[in-house]
Structure 1
Amino acid sequence: MVSHDFAHGMHVVREGPREAPPLVLIHGSGASGASWDLVAGALAACHHVIRVDLPGCGQSPPAPSYEVPAQAGRVAALLDDLGLRQVAVAGHSSGGYVATSLAEQRPGLVRSLALISTGPSPGALLPQPLVLRALLAPPLGPLLWARRSDAMIRKGIVATTARPVDIPAGMIADLGNITYRTFRKVLRGNAAYVAERSVPGRLAGLGHPVLVIFGAADPRWDPSSAHRYEAVPDTRVELLPGVGHLPILEAPETTGELLLRFTATAGNAPPVRPPA
C-alpha cells in the first residue's frame, strides 16, 4: 500500500502495512524521499515506511526556516498526527542531523537511529568534488544552477559515488526543483547544527541504539571519521568497501539488509538515558 500526502509543509509517502513497525526515512541536503527508491521496497516489506521531502526539497514548498531543529520539529508533528510512537528513524547524510535532532527533541518518540554517510563534525569534511563547488560558489554558482540540466544533476550525483549507480528518475526530477537560494540556506542550517556540537556528542546522552553506515570510499566525508561514533554507547559502525557517499544507491541491497537487521533487534525497550 502506497499513499502520497502533504502535511506540515512536507510531501509525505507512506508504504507498507500500516500495522507494521514504523520506519522514517530522511533524505540529505537538497535531495528528496526519492533518494530512497532503491531500498524502500525491501524496507516496506517489514515496516510502515514514511518518507518525507523536507521543506524546499523535492515536491515540498519552501519554508521560513531551514534550521535542523525546525526540520525535526516538522517531522515530529507529522508523526504525532499519524499517531505513531517508538519509531525507527534513518537519515542519509545531513538527514542524519534531522534524525538526531528529532531524538534530542522527542527521545520517547524515537526507538532507534540509523545514520548513513552522516559526517560527525565539520573537521571530517573533505574538499568537495569540483562539479559541486562550481554549482555552489558565487558568482558563477547561481548562473550554473539556474541552467543546470538533468545531465549536470546526474554528474553532480555521480561525483559523490565510488561505483556505477542506478539513479532513480524521481531523484533527478526532484533535485531539479530546489532553488539555489534554498539549497544554500539548507547547507548553512546543517553546518550550524554540526558546528554547535558534534553528532556523536549529541547522541552520547540520548541512550538510543544507533547504526552508522559509511562508504569506505566516501569522497565527501573522511571515511575514518565514522569510527568517532564508536564512542557512543550501543552503536554499531559498518564500513562498506568500495562505496562512496551514497550507499542507498551504490549498495542498496546491503544497505537494506543492514537496516532490516538493525531495526529487527534495536530498541526492544524504551531508551534509557545513561547516568549523568
Structure 2
Amino acid sequence: MKRALLGADEAFGPDRMPPPWPGRMALIDGEQTFVRDTPGTTTAAQPALYVHGLGGSSQNWTDLAGLLSDRLDGQAIDLPGFGRSGPAKQYTIKAFADRMIRLIEVAERGPVHLFGNSLGGAVVVRVAGLRPDLVRTLTLISPAMPFLDPRRSLQGPVVPLLALPRADRLAAWMMGRYAPEELAAQVIEACFNDVSRVSDQRRQEAVEEIKIRYEAAHYADAYVRSLRGLVSSFLRAYLPGANSMWKIASQITAPTLVVGGRQDRLVDIRVAPQVAKVIPDSRLLILDGVGHVAQMEVPRIVARGVVALLDEYEREQAGVT
C-alpha cells in the first residue's frame, strides 16, 4: 500500500453540472440491465465500468464519469433490482459479480477500468479478484468490505430485521411513510458529510429516482435481499474457504485506488485502510470532511486520484519507469 497521488485540478476545466447520461436496456442472459453510456471524448479513451452501492443507481456516477470522459469511455449500470434494471433471482455479491462479468464479456469491451462504491465496491472486488483478465485498474470508493461492528453504520439497527421472513414488506411500509422529497433528503443526509455540496439539480434528480423506486414492486425485496447478501458475505469473510472477501481481495493484481471519506457513516472508516493493506498493488486516499459517496460529494478530487492512477498504469504499460 502506498499513498495516492492526485492529478492536476486544472486539467478538468470549470465545474459542470451535466444531466444524467443517456441510458438503454441491455439483455444479459435473459435479464434486463439498465446501462448509461458516458462516451469518451477522445479516441484514446479506454473502456470503464461503474457500479453503484446499495439503494443507489447508475446516476451516482454522473459527475465523475463526466470529468473522466477525456480518458475513459464509461458505462454505468443499475444493479439488478435497482434503478431501472429488472429484478433478479438472487441478490448476493456473487450473483451481482457474475452479472458484471457477463456484461463485460457480452459487450466485448474488456478489460475495463472498474469502479465500485459501497456494495458496488464489494462486487467489483470479487470481479477483479476472480477475473483479472477483465480489469485494467480498480477504483474502490468506501467499499462495503466486511466489518462486524454494527454501531459503525447507520444501517446497523436494520440488520436484526433481516431475520424476519417478510422483511421486504416491512421495508416497503417504512419507505412508503415518506414522500419522495423526504426520503431523498434522508438519503443525502446519510451519504454526504456536507449536504450543502448537493445542488438543487442533483436533489431533484434524487427525488425522481426515488419516485421510480416507488413504482417498482420488486424494489423493497431487492434492497432487503441485497443487504442480507452483503451481511452474509461479511460473516463468511472470517471463515476459511474460497468465498472469503478478504482472500479474494488479496488475489487482485490490478493497480488499485482505495478512497475513503473520514466522515463516512455507512461503512466503518477503518475498512478502507484495511482493504488497501490487503490488495497488493494499492494506493490509499482518505478524504477529510467527506462522507460515503466521495464520487458525488467531491468528484473533482476523486477524478484527480483516478487520473494519477491512470497515468501510472499507462506508464507501466509503456514500460516507462
User: How much has 1:38 moved relative to structure 2?
Assistant: 2.1
- Look up the equivalent residue of 2:100 and give its one-letter code: V
Report SS of the residue matched to 2:80.
coil
Aligned residue in 1 for 2:236: 196
Report SS of the residue matched to 1:261.
helix
- Look up the equivalent residue of 1:260 and give its one-letter code: V
User: How much has 1:16 moved relative to structure 2?
Assistant: 1.9
Structure 2 gaps, min length 5: 1-20, 214-218, 238-243
- Look up the equivalent residue of 2:267 and give its one-letter code: W
Q: How many residues align?
A: 267
1:120-140, Cα deviation, whole Å (9 max, x unpaired): 313255444389859x78686
- Look up the equivalent residue of 2:288 and give its one-letter code: P
Question: Rg: which structure is higher?
Answer: 2
TM score, norm. by length of structure 2: 0.75
CA distance in structure 1 between the partners assigned to 2:307 and 2:258 by the alignment: 13
Aligned residue in 1 for 2:205: 170
Report SS of the residue matched to 1:242.
coil
Aligned residue in 2 for 1:222: 268
Aligned residue in 1 for 2:298: 251
Task: Classify 1:106/1:52 alpha carbon distance in 2 versus 1 (closer, same or farther; 3 Å).
Answer: same
> Superposed, which structure 2 residues align to 1:50-129 within 5 Å?
50-123=75-148, 125-129=150-154
- Look up the equivalent residue of 1:212 and give its one-letter code: V
Task: Classify 1:31/1:216 alpha carbon distance in 2 versus 1 (closer, same or farther; 3 Å).
Answer: same
1:6-42, Cα deviation, whole Å (9 max, x unpaired): 1122100111238521111100001100011221211
Report SS of the residue matched to 1:177.
helix
In the alignment, is the contact (CA less than 8 A) between 2:262 and 2:290 conserved in 1?
A: yes
CA distance in structure 2 between the partners assigned to 1:256 and 1:143 by the alignment: 38
TM score, norm. by length of structure 1: 0.86
- The answer to whether structure 1 residue 6 and structure 2 residue 25 are counterparts is yes
CA distance in structure 1 between the partners assigned to 2:178 and 2:146 by the alignment: 30
- Look up the equivalent residue of 1:148 and give its one-letter code: Y
Task: Classify 1:56/1:44 alpha carbon distance in 2 versus 1 (closer, same or farther; 3 Å).
Answer: same
Task: Classify 1:175/1:131 alpha carbon distance in 2 versus 1 (closer, same or farther; 3 Å).
Answer: farther
Report SS of the residue matched to 1:119.
coil
CA distance in structure 1 between the partners assigned to 2:155 and 2:137 by the alignment: 36
In the alignment, is the contact (CA less than 8 A) between 2:171 and 2:224 conserved in 1?
A: no
Aligned residue in 1 for 2:13: none
Structure 1 gaps, min length 5: 270-276
In the alignment, is the contact (CA less than 8 A) between 1:214 and 1:245 conserved in 2?
A: yes
In the alignment, is the contact (CA less than 8 A) between 2:81 and 2:88 conserved in 1?
A: yes
**Structure 1 residue runs of 4 or more that deviate by more than 4 Å after TM superposition:** 130-134, 136-141
User: How much has 1:173 moved relative to structure 2?
Assistant: 2.5
Aligned residue in 2 for 1:152: 183
State which drifts further: 196-205 or 58-67.
Answer: 196-205
CA distance in structure 1 between the partners assigned to 2:156 and 2:95 by the alignment: 30
